[in-house]
Structures are given as C-alpha cells and as structure tokens.
Amino acid sequence: MKTLLIVWQSMTGGTRQMAQAAADGAADEAGVQVRLLAAPQAGPEDLLGADGCLFATPENLASMAGLMKDFFDRCYYPALGRIEGRPYAAMVCAGSDGQGAVRQIERICAGWRLKAAAPALIVCTHAQTPEAILAPKTIGPADLARCRDLGAALAAGLALGIF
C-alpha cells in the first residue's frame, strides 16, 4: 500500500477546501492510503512514512503561510537525505499570483531532491482588500475539480509505480 501525505494550512478555509478536494480525488485510487494533515499536526515521521506528498498553503504577504513554513522547518533536517526522488506537488490559494509561495516550496523540495510530479496549482481568489483577504473563502467548483484531479493523478502515479 502506497501513502500520499497531504499537508495543508488554511486561515480562511480556502486552502483547506483545496486539500480536502485533492484528498477526495486521491481516495478513489485503490492501493493508496491518503493522509490529510494540518501543518501543525504533521511532523518528520509523517513525511518519512509517505511515498508522495502534496503541500497546500495560502500565500500570505508573497510567502507561504507561517505554519506551513514551520512544518518545513521542523521536518527539513530530519528528512534530509532520506526522501530523495519521491514525488510531490504543491497547491496555493492566493489573492494575487501565488508565485512567491510556489517558489519557496519548490526550493525546499529541491533541497530534499523531491521530484515535481505536476506543475504547482494556484487558485486565485483575487482578494485584495484587508476585508476580502481576511474573509472566509469559498473555492468554486471548477477550481475544486482541478484540485481533485491533482490528488487523483498523484495517487494514480503512486499506485501504478510511475513515481
């Protein structure tokens, strides 16, 4: 049985919805166990026990969320040299472009020598005012379908031994 670890952080609910949609898509794949963990609850042992990972974060101030960064900080050195070649993908819930958070995740994953299984998926909410940024988010059906498809593709790749 292969394991897909989905680690997420969300302040306004958008990224949580994206991560859940990816987990739902992955859960349909036989032979793959899906572990959906909030970043504060995920640790090095979870990362080491996974055959592939999906990292989901909001973009805050052109960066990944602080608690997502905390996950990477806590896991980086315990996993260094122990997870090379494993597949990963990233999802970002952004108010504008999401590229800052994507770059951070890609750099960390390059250090771990993980293999990008898909381009980063960015959902842009276009939230630009303080009120819109802090408001609860609802991710639309088309974007949730993209997230489900990404989760399904990662799980299928793991199950088929493509990754």
pLDDT, one tens digit per residue, over 55-81 is: 999 999 999 999 999 999 999 999 999
**12 is in which domain, residue-wise?**
2-160
CA distance 141 to 138: 9
User: What average pLDDT score do residues 19-32 get?
Assistant: 96
CA distance 14 to 156: 25
pTM for the structure as a whole: 0.97
CA distance 102 to 100: 5
Local confidence band at 155 (pLDDT 50, 70, 90 cut-offs):
very high
Structural domain total, the chain? 1
The average confidence (pLDDT) of the chain is 97
pLDDT attached to residue 46: 98
Q: Within the chain, where are the H helices?
A: 14-27, 44-48, 66-79, 99-112, 130-134, 141-160
72 near 108, Cβ under 8 Å? yes
CATH number for position 58: 3.40.50.360
pLDDT attached to residue 18: 98
